């Protein structure tokens, strides 16, 4: 790590790659038609549309959860926190073929309202999704999905009904490492707001 006065405008050119960091590190719950479920950690995810509300996840076809996504056409994105960092990493490196991740990590299965996939109770936000399209892009297949329901933990709501996700200490993934995100640097539009 360089310190002091450095020229941050000097660049090196690298080969093409995914250097769009940081990314949300989310735990995605899935289930097959028999009801067997799994948790997979995904960093290739994001918002794609406001109306209708849509997002995506990208998953390698060889992942254990891939056939579940194809079978049921549904998943739940469970946002992660500092407290869930160990579970987030574990769900990304252990296969559901070998272990029941809910049991191994002592996570709470909660019933979703719109899809036949469980929510993770310890997550501050759970986003129920129904897949509308799968685009086979190459190493990953992108599942475009419509948001069917959102569940938020009342623990992070204030007396006026405002949700404070920053109090849950959300985490992001950046180039092989997890980072905390609980310090606000500004709010939308602060750069042009009259003082």
pLDDT digits (tens, 9 = 90+) for 97-111: 999 999 999 999 999
Whole-structure pTM value = 0.90
Domain boundaries along the sequence of the chain: 23-170
Residue 143 CA to residue 48 CA, distance in Å, equals: 11
Cβ–Cβ under 8 Å, residues 69 and 131: yes
At 194, the pLDDT band (50, 70, 90 cuts) reads: confident
State the pLDDT at residue 158. 95
Q: How many CB atoms lie within 10 A of CB 155?
A: 9
Residue 5 pLDDT exceeds 80: no
Cβ–Cβ under 8 Å, residues 172 and 22: yes
Superfamily of domain 23-170: Electron Transport, Fmn-binding Protein; Chain A (2.30.110.10)
Cα 182–chain centre separation: 16
State the pLDDT at residue 195. 75
């Amino acid at each position: 790590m360089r310190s002091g006065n450095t020229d941050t405008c000097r660049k090196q050119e690298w080969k093409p790659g995914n250097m769009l960091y940081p990314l949300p590190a989310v735990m995605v719950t899935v289930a097959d038609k028999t009801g067997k479920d799994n948790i997979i950690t995904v960093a290739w995810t994001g918002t794609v549309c406001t109306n209708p509300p849509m997002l995506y996840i990208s998953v390698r076809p060889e992942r254990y959860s891939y056939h579940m996504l194809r079978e049921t056409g549904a998943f739940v994105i469970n946002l992660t926190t500092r407290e869930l960092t160990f579970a987030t990493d574990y769900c990304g490196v252990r296969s559901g073929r070998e272990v029941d991740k809910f049991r191994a990590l002592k996570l709470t299965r909660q019933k979703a309202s719109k899809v036949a996939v469980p929510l993770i109770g310890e997550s501050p936000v759970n986003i129920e999704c129904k897949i509308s399209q799968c685009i086979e892009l190459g190493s990953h297949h992108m599942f475009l999905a419509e948001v069917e329901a959102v569940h938020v933990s009342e623990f992070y709501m204030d007396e006026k009904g405002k949700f404070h996700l920053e109090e849950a200490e959300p985490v992001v993934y950046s180039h092989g490492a997890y980072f905390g995100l609980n310090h606000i640097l500004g709010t939308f539009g602060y750069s042009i707001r009259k003082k």
